[in-house]
Structure 1
Amino acid sequence: MKNTSLDTVVIDTGASPRSCVIWLHGLGADGHDFEPIVPELALPPDAPVRFLFPHAPVRRVTINNHMPMRAWYDFLSLDPGRGEDHAQVAEAVSLIQAMVESARKEHDRVLLGGFSQGGAVALLAGLSEGPAVDGIFALSTYMPDADQAGVGLSRRARGMPVFMGHGSLDPVIPVDFGRHTSKLLGSLGAVVQWHEYPMPHSVCADEIRDLSGWFGTLLA
């Protein structure tokens, strides 16, 4: 993968935003996937935010019969933690950290997060050595094996605010994967908010409400 930048959907909630939220979509979706959620977020009215929704590269995905689709990395088997193409995980982390570095030049606060595969990349990119973020949100996801991806976790994981939400009925990434990641992050010293919702592999109104509150605390 030669490109060092990503096509991105940009939404500003007001003039001259000093805060930035980078939001990564899941496997097979694109940057428009979570664009409609922005108006549903109860953000501080006096704190404009720039939302960046990057499109993942198009690649063939093994578990989907090698069909080309937008994916942050290939899944060789649907076995989170072991079935990823770890070299591609590392590539995705590098791409997102470049976005964070660029956002840092223009904004006082930068939050990073995503859904499913996007959340997995966000966790590694936000917690590993590289440009710093002010918080991470991870929806219906897990953290890939940092060692296998060749990614070194940073000391700043200690004290990092992390929002995690997961469906208790999730058949794609079972909730136990999220619970395990939450405990792992806690052991690293991260300040984790863990939420479970009676839903499948998706988002729900209660999750958006809780995420809005978390955003408000960090962006106000």
Structure 2
Amino acid sequence: MTTSNLLPVIELSVGHDPKASVIWMHGLGADGNDFVPVVKELGLPEHLAVRFIFPHAPLRPVTINTGYMMRAWYDILGLDSIERKVDEAGIRTSQRAIEALIAKEEARGIAPEKLVLAGFSQGGAIALQTGLRYPKRLAGIVGLSTYLALAESLPSEAHPANRGIPIFLGHGKQDNVIPFTAGANSKERLTELGYRVQWHEYPMAHTVSMEEITDIGRWLAARIADDGSQ
């Protein structure tokens, strides 16, 4: 993917001369603006200089919304088929688009081990899809109210570079869009495969809470600590 074909993004830097980056993917029907306000709520230490990148998913027809065009990382064929029948082609296309953004950050001087992939719902599925298969070690993956979209192919496609990658998974117990069981099943699958999963449950629906944002901020600070000890 050439520079001219990169996804459009919103960038927000915390601190001077960032040495770490977070690429954060929104959910179905939203756009990159969705999580921009969260940055100031994370409570990151002042000494950490971080570039936050919020890409806009492409516009595409979404089956569950009668083919209505909206921003989506891949098509959703039905809420009852989230863990079974998925738009594999769309998922892999979005994976390549995020890999291109990672490469751009590396060209800007951000080491892959200082880059975190984060996402909510569909965006979280793409964060997991990309990060677990990426050929260079990343700092971590944050998946919020999400699931493993192509779980069956992960054992054969997972890259050794990220076998030990720290993973933050958070899910609402009252989630009526991505069932809590879908998130819990994904956590169990990842754990069975030997991944380091930090699992968080929250009394909420398909959203994020201040408690979750605080937990994410603490986790992010540890992952991108300047001393590289985490």
Amino acid corresponding to residue 49 of structure 1 in structure 2: V
The structure richer in helix per residue is: 2
Consecutive aligned runs of 4 or more in structure 1 exceeding 6 Å deviation? none
Whether the 8 Å CA contact 2:63–2:76 is kept in 1: the answer is yes
Q: Which residue of 2 aligns with 1:155?
A: 160
Q: CA deviation at 1:131?
A: 4.2
Q: CA deviation at 1:185?
A: 1.2
Pair 1:15-2:16 in alignment: yes
Q: CA deviation at 1:134?
A: 1.2
Residues 50-75 of structure 1 show CA distances to partners (whole Å, capped at 9, x for unaligned) of: 00000000000000110000000001
Q: Helix, strand or coil for the counterpart of 1:33?
A: helix
Pair 1:195-2:197 in alignment: no
Amino acid corresponding to residue 209 of structure 2 in structure 1: C
> TM-score by structure 2 length?
0.90
State the identity as a percent: 44
Whether the 8 Å CA contact 2:116–2:141 is kept in 1: the answer is yes
CA distance in 1, matches of 2:33, 2:134: 29
Amino acid corresponding to residue 181 of structure 2 in structure 1: D
Q: Which residue of 1 aligns with 2:124?
A: 119
Amino acid corresponding to residue 91 of structure 1 in structure 2: T
RMSD over equivalenced CA pairs, Å: 1.9
> TM-score by structure 1 length?
0.94
Q: Which residue of 2 aligns with 1:209?
A: 214
Amino acid corresponding to residue 85 of structure 1 in structure 2: D
Q: CA deviation at 1:129?
A: 4.0
Match of 1:107 among 96, 107, 110: 110
Q: Helix, strand or coil for the counterpart of 2:31?
A: coil
Q: Helix, strand or coil for the counterpart of 2:130?
A: helix
Q: CA deviation at 1:158?
A: 2.5
Gapped regions of structure 2 (runs ≥ 5): 226-230
Whether the 8 Å CA contact 2:136–2:162 is kept in 1: the answer is no
Amino acid corresponding to residue 56 of structure 1 in structure 2: A
